Structure 1
Amino acid sequence: MVELALIDKIVIVVYLMCILGVGLWAGRRVTELEEYAVADRNYNSLIIAATLSASFIGGGFTMGNAEKVFSVGIINIVVLWGFSLKELLVARYIAPNAGRFPKAISVGDVMEVDYGKVGKVVTGVFSVLLCAGILGAQIGGMGYLFNLFLGISVPAGILIGMGIIIVYDTIGGMRAVVATDVLQFVVLSLGIPLSLILGIYSLGGLEMMQSRLPSGHLEVFGSISLVKFLSLFLTFLLGETLVPPYVRRLFISKDIRHLCRGTFFSGMFSIPFFAVSGCLGLVALALNPQIDPNQAIPYVVQSALPIGLRGLVIAGIIAVVMSSADSFLNSASVAFVNDIVNPLRKEKLSEQRGLLWARLATLVTGGLAIIFAIRIQSLLDILIYAYNFWSPIILVPLAATLLGYRASKLAFVAGAAAGLVGVYVWNAMLGSPGGFDGLLIGVFANLTVFSTVNVLTPSPAVAADV
């Protein structure tokens, strides 16, 4: 446990209260499911950039990144830039087409255009599974933080952090998520770089830090093979591509210009941020190579930051976790109601009852997330595991629809089945030969079967608007 001065504890408590207050205030007037899911669809590019960045910069991309850099070196930073490239590609090719879905509130609404009820329900199921997995990574990190900094047990820390998120997320939906994301983005943008600067200073500068590091940690391919690098790079390029929270951000901007700019700004911001969070792992390694890699960032805070600043930086670290967790929790609840419950009912839920169901769904998703967090210890490994519930099954047909290429229901079903089988056979039966994760094999299998079946069952070239 890190010993904190009273002032640091006060800063942390005040921050948590501010998050709760902002979330409750922003979402105080939400009365319908659509408003809960997409607010008023009137956010500008800066808000889009802030909420997107706060959503994807979670525990896995900060604490998990520092852990991996501590263990294997700067190669992990370069690997994560696959995610940055993905965001820039979305800004260039996907975001400009979002205007064709003016009434969509979930990924399932987009998939329903070409693939009907089957596509919507299947997407809803895997949306919930993916969001629960990624949420598990975030709340696992939250438990570590509360345990280390405040001496609270990991389960209790999870309950406190998740309790705050569930309260404002349940009441305010997207309005609360965006409002808290902006605050969290500001705090994490200050806190994480400040930790790195003070950490390097405590070591005596860059040259002194470098002298304490294993030489291989500063080489791009010093610790893993090119094949393994490509596997990981492509995993992060494809793994979170078009996942529910990011797709739903395509539906909340005031116009396409603001959406494209905001998405581009978010992608550019991620490049230096991943470098900063990863380098915190190097600072921790230089300070003490014997520590648990999972505790890299907390150890830097404990060792390098003076009393008075620790509270601010810890608040920034907590912001990282909470800002991602609330987005995935909200997306899971919307997917559960809009993409699973409504399509399977004879009569669609009213907006008011749909809102009630969405609020109740947060409890189910939270339970699934806790299971993920308990079963897998590494935060980044949780992300990679969760990706297997999305990209091999949903990514290819979703990208096709968003890009305007219409395909048949049979192509969707066949491609999804091929992707799922590909992941299972490659990972579970063959043991990931060649260092390639099954996610990549699943995406390739889906693309191959989806394209082949679609050629054999031709459809109109352009999808209709939702």
Structure 2
Amino acid sequence: MNPIDLLGLLVYFAILIAIGYRSARKVSDSADFAVAGNKIIWPVLFATLAASFLGGGASMGRAGESFKEGYAFMFAASAFPIATALAGLFVAPRLKRYANAQTMGDIMAHHFGSGARLFTGIFSLIFCVSLLGAQALAVGTVFHTILGIEVSTGILLGMSVVLLYSTVGGMWAVIQTDVVQFLMLAVFLPLTMLIGIHDLGGPSALVEQLPDAHFSLMGDYSVGMFVGIFVAFLLGESLVPPYTQRALSAPDSRHARIGYSVAGGFGLLFYFVSATIGLIALVLYPDISPDQAMPALIRDALPIGITGLVLASLLAVVMSTADSYLNSAAVIFVGDIYKPFIEPGVSDKKRLWIERLVNLLIGIGAIVFALYATSIIDALLMSYSLWAPTILLPFVFAVLFDLRCSRSAVAAMLSGALVTIVWEWGPLDLQAITGLTALIAGVIANLAVFTLVYRRFRGTMPDTNH
């Protein structure tokens, strides 16, 4: 890398560390660490939410899949920004009805009791660590492609910075760095796309050099495969803990609604940019690994002085998602597991230090996960199968319809998890036999059990002692 570009990258890292240091002085209690004091107005909420969900999967992962499959993958994956916009209209504003809530477990306990809080915390924690691993893998891939260092070394280097500023600064640091990272990705990734198209000779030249299937709605996907991917992205990351935490950080329902909805609309535009970068890389570098499509284009197609800034923006979109999941996992462990079930009388000062310690330990666990993941998208889809079949539907039903029952949510979460595990890792290839993916089978089981148990026991009130 040119020294000028390397300097730009180093300056970016220095800015992140400085933000973490400044933010640490704002974190005086657990509420500051978890929800930034409920002071995040909608423009900031939009920026931090967009930066969080447009991470390694939305940028490098989607560029890589478009490299292989064309725009068909973009159309299938667009289910997620659509789901985000819908959540902004119908769910996010209602979350502000729960006074002092910091986690999804707080809300689930209100509707379904302490057992639901515990299992929400456990499943959320597993999900956040695995999603964080996908982002760590993306960090390592960027460093490998741009600097030529080992992926594992890149993971350790990039994640060390994330661990530093998120551990000391909590949600305040995460949100401030997210705003910086959002501004960078909003400018530099579209710039990369435009420069790449110019180098090819314009949009018509790009179209002429790609197979027609790369521009069709479904490409080479079968109907079942396309629907499976669409459903995975529709449900797999919707209202996950870091995004719900953003809504809880808003001062009121209006800011939560606008911030969420605008972020969903921006996501559709950003997916197009990522997918087009993947197609440009296919024409220029047909023999590279798909996950390297975006980093390779940044490395080779951009002029000196711009490369370092765009590399920093690429790291920005990955690290902004990583820090969100890291912070959320620490808050979940302390708020939904440690405080209610291990030390109910924990002081706020001790709780803050435990959150910081857990933040550090979970980051290390995610690094280990990243070292074993095969690709970014594989890691994302593996993580999605842990979320939609367990927590999502009971949570949405509770918030939208004010349901209360001490047994339905726990039964649904455990049933959905069990069916997903059997479908994914059982002795029979149930996906081939039934045509249903593990995620869809788990969601069906979750919905069926929740409905049956709720109809039978809806008169039982939840235990909210914890």
TM-score (norm 2): 0.96
Shift of 1:346: 4.8
Residue 460 of structure 1, CA deviation: 8.4
Q: Do 2:96 and 2:253's aligned partners in 1 also have CA atoms closer than 8 Å?
A: yes
- Residue 215 (structure 1) aligned with residue 212 (structure 2): yes
5+ residue gaps, structure 2, are none
Moved more, 242-251 or 212-221: 212-221
Answer yes or no: is 1:9 the counterpart of 2:6. Answer: yes
Q: How does 1:265-344 map to 2 (within 5 A)?
A: 265-344=262-341
What do the CA deviations read for 1:244-274 (whole angstroms, capped 9, x no partner)? 0011111111211111011111000000100
Given candidates 66, 70, 90, the residue that maps to 2:67 is 70
Q: Which moved more, 1:374-383 or 1:265-274?
A: 374-383
Deviates more, 1:276-285 or 1:389-398: 389-398
Please give the secondary structure, in 2, of the residue aligned with 1:409: coil
1:179 and 2:200 correspond: no
Q: Does the CA-based 8 Å contact 2:45-2:259 persist in structure 1?
A: yes
Partner Cα separation in structure 1 for residue 200 and residue 399 of structure 2: 49
SS at the partner of 2:402?
A: coil
1:410–1:453 contact (8 Å) kept in structure 2: yes
Q: CA offset at residue 426 of structure 1?
A: 2.1
Residues of 1 paired with 2:419 and 2:86: CA distance? 26
Q: In terms of mean alpha carbon deviation, does 421-430 or 261-270 score higher?
A: 421-430
**Residue 448 (structure 1) aligns with:** 448
The TM-score, its normalising length taken from structure 1, stands at 0.96
Aligned residues of 2:17 and 2:165 also touching (Cα < 8 A) = yes
Distance (whole Å) between structure 2 residues aligned to residue 102 and residue 310 of structure 1 = 46
Alignment of 1:103-122 (within 5 A): 103-122=100-119
- Which residue is 1:349 aligned to? 346
1:389 correspondence with 2:423: no
1:88-145 CA deviation, whole Å, 9 max, x = no partner?
Answer: 1101110221121121011111111122221111111111111111111111111111
375, 378, 385: which is aligned to 1:378? 375
2:252 alignment counterpart: 255
Q: Deviations over 1:345-399 (max 9, x none)?
A: 2533111111111111123212321232122221011111011222111112111
- Whether the 8 Å contact between 1:376 and 1:382 is mirrored in structure 2 is yes
SS at match of 2:37: coil
Corresponding position of 1:439: 439
| CA distance in 2: counterparts of 1:366 and 1:168, whole angstroms | 12
Q: CA deviation at 1:311?
A: 0.9
Distance in 1, matches of 2:97 and 2:253, equals: 10
Hey, what does 2:99 align to over in structure 1?
A: 102
Counterpart secondary structure, 1:251: helix
User: What does residue range 29-178 of structure 1 map to in structure 2 within 5 Å?
Assistant: 29-178=26-175
Conserved 8 A contact 1:191-1:316: yes
**Take 2:45 and 2:127, find their aligned partners in 1: how far apart are those partners?**
22
Query: Any conservation in 1 of the 2:406–2:461 contact (CA below 8 Å)?
Result: no
Q: Which amino acid in 1 is paired with 2:51?
A: A
Q: 1:71 to 1:101 in 2, by over 3 A?
A: same
1:317-344 CA distances to partner (integer Å, 9 max, x unpaired)? 0101110000000000011111111122
- What is the letter of the counterpart of residue 330 of structure 2? S
Return the offset for 1:461: 11
Partner Cα distance (2:58, 2:81) in 1: 11
1:21 and 2:18 correspond: yes
- Of residues 215, 224, 227 in structure 2, which corresponds to 1:227? 224
Letter in 1 for 2:286: P
| CA-to-aligned-CA distance 1:406-443 (integer Å, 9 cap, x gap) | 23221112211220122122222343236542111111
Q: Which amino acid aligns with 1:79?
A: A
Question: Quick check: 1:406–1:459 contact (8 Å CA) kept in 2?
Answer: no
Paired amino acid for 1:448: A
Q: Is the contact made by 1:60 and 1:379 (CA closer than 8 Å) also made in structure 2?
A: yes
Code of the aligned partner of 2:349: Q
Unpaired runs of 5+ residues, structure 1, are: none
Deviates more, 1:98-107 or 1:146-155: 146-155
Structure 1 vs Structure 2 CA RMSD:
1.8
Contact 1:73 1:223 in 2 (8 A): no
Counterpart-to-counterpart distance in 2, 1:235 and 1:267? 17
| Counterpart AA for 1:359 | R
Q: Separation in 2 of the partners of 1:26 and 1:102?
A: 25
Check whether the contact 1:191–1:315 (CA below 8 A) recurs between aligned residues: no
- Taking the aligned partners of 1:208 and 1:303, their CA distance within structure 2 comes to 19
Distance 2:44 2:67 in 1: 33
Structure 2 CA distance for partners of 1:119 and 1:159, relative to 1, 3 Å: same
Tell me whether 195-204 or 250-259 shows the greater mean CA deviation: 250-259
Secondary structure in 1 aligned to 2:251?
Answer: coil
- 8 Å contact 1:405–1:461 — kept in the other structure? no
Counterpart amino acid of 1:437?
A: T
Q: 1:205 aligns with which of 202, 207, 217?
A: 202
| Rounded Cα–Cα distance in structure 2 between residues aligned with 1:416 and 1:127 | 11
Give me the whole-angstrom Cα distance separating, in 2, the residues matched to 1:229 and 1:461: 41
Q: Which amino acid is 2:16 matched to?
A: I
- Indicate how the Cα distance of structure 1 residues 97 and 437 shifts in structure 2: closer, same or farther if over 3 A, else same: same
Identity, in percent, stands at 38
Q: Which amino acid aligns with 1:449?
A: V
- CA–CA separation in structure 2 for the residues paired with 1:188 and 1:372: 26
Whole-angstrom distance in 2 between the partners of 1:255 and 1:241 = 21
